[in-house]
């Protein structure tokens, strides 16, 4: 079952607005990943974070690895219609080998 | 470079039939993962391989599911016999190395419908 709490579950925003979503857990993770999934496609990796406190950007996307190692957030600035999709966080625990735990996803809708 | 390749993209079958899903990982990647995605349970890891060897199959639902990786460029996930509750999107993902600073790259998925 899911061990990552991802919020919000859905967001409806206007084009140009900034977006923020986050994942939290009661467990410590040593890697955080953010994926985007378009309808009918597989998740696509957006950003990977490997160190507590790390802040990484990919174009208009910025993600941070929480200091406690139990959370991460993703920000999207100046949203555009093609940002529509489901965003997933995923974490890897030090003791779980290559196994990832996924959040439940945030469905983002951008109104033009 | 080609990404992870999955076939078929869509499969519709009747309950009781055998289903085989196929995956070709990204060349050079030595870890391969099979996931199932449903609305109710989200993304679930079924099994993963490192260097063609199954490492963790704790997510395989039951004995009706089996997975093989005969070589570094090919893997199959088989369901026999299939049941309606197996209907889901099945993803294959690959990763360049085991553990550490690796990331997983997903294929487009196979949408399975069992009638």
Contact B106 A43 (CB under 8 A): yes
**How far is Cα A21 from Cα B78, in angstroms, rounded to an integer?**
36
Give contacts of B4 with chain A, Cβ < 8 Å.
42
Q: Where are the beta strands (DSSP E) in chain B?
A: 5-7, 10-13, 19-24, 31-38, 42-50, 53-56, 65-71, 74-79, 88-95, 105-106, 110-114
- pLDDT of the residue at B102: 65
Instruction: Please report, for residues A9, A97, B42, B51, B54, the alpha-carbon distance to residue B96 in angstroms, rounded to integers and kept in the order given.
Output: 31, 14, 24, 10, 16
Collapsing DSSP to helix, strand or coil, B79 comes out as strand
pLDDT band at B101 (very low <50, low <70, confident <90, very high): low
> How confident is the model over A23-77, as pLDDT tens digits?
999 999 999 999 999 988 999 999 999 999 999 999 999 999 999 999 999 999 9
Nearest-Cα distance to chain B for A111, in Å, is 24
Token output for A110: 């951008």
Nearest-Cα distance to chain B for A74, in Å, is 17
Token output for A60: 């208009």
Contact A31 B101 (CB under 8 A): yes
Residue B39 CB partners (closer than 8 Å, separation 6+): none
- pLDDT of the residue at A32: 94
Residue of B nearest to A49 (CA): B101
Instruction: Please report, for residues A39, A55, A89, B38, the alpha-carbon distance to residue A19 in angstroms, rounded to integers and kept in the order given.
Output: 20, 16, 15, 26
- pLDDT of the residue at A97: 77
Q: Which of B103, B105, B111 to mutate to test the interface with A (most CBs of A within 10 A)?
A: B103
Helix/strand number for chain A, H first, E second: 0, 11
């Amino acid at each position: 079952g899911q061990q990552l709490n991802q919020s919000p579950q859905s967001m409806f925003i206007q084009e140009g607005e900034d977006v923020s979503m986050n994942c939290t857990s009661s467990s410590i993770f040593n890697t955080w990943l953010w994926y985007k999934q378009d309808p009918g496609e597989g998740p696509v990796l957006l950003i990977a974070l490997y160190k507590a406190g790390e802040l990484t950007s990919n174009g208009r996307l910025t993600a941070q690895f929480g200091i406690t190692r139990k959370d991460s957030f993703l920000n999207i600035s100046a949203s555009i219609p093609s940002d529509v999709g489901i965003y997933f966080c995923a974490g890897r625990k030090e003791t779980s080998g290559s196994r990832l735990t996924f959040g439940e996803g945030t469905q983002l809708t951008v109104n033009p | 470079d080609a990404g992870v390749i999955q076939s078929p993209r869509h499969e519709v079958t009747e309950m009781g039939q055998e289903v085989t899903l196929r995956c070709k990982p990204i060349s050079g990647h030595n870890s391969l993962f099979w996931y199932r995605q449903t609305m109710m349970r989200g993304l679930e890891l079924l099994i993963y391989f490192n260097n063609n060897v199954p490492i963790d199959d704790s997510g395989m639902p039951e004995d009706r599911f089996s997975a093989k990786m005969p070589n570094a460029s090919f893997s199959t996930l088989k369901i026999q016999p299939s049941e309606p509750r197996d209907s889901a999107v099945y993803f294959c993902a690959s990763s360049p190395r085991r553990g550490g600073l690796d990331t997983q790259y997903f294929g487009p998925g196979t949408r399975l419908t069992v009638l």
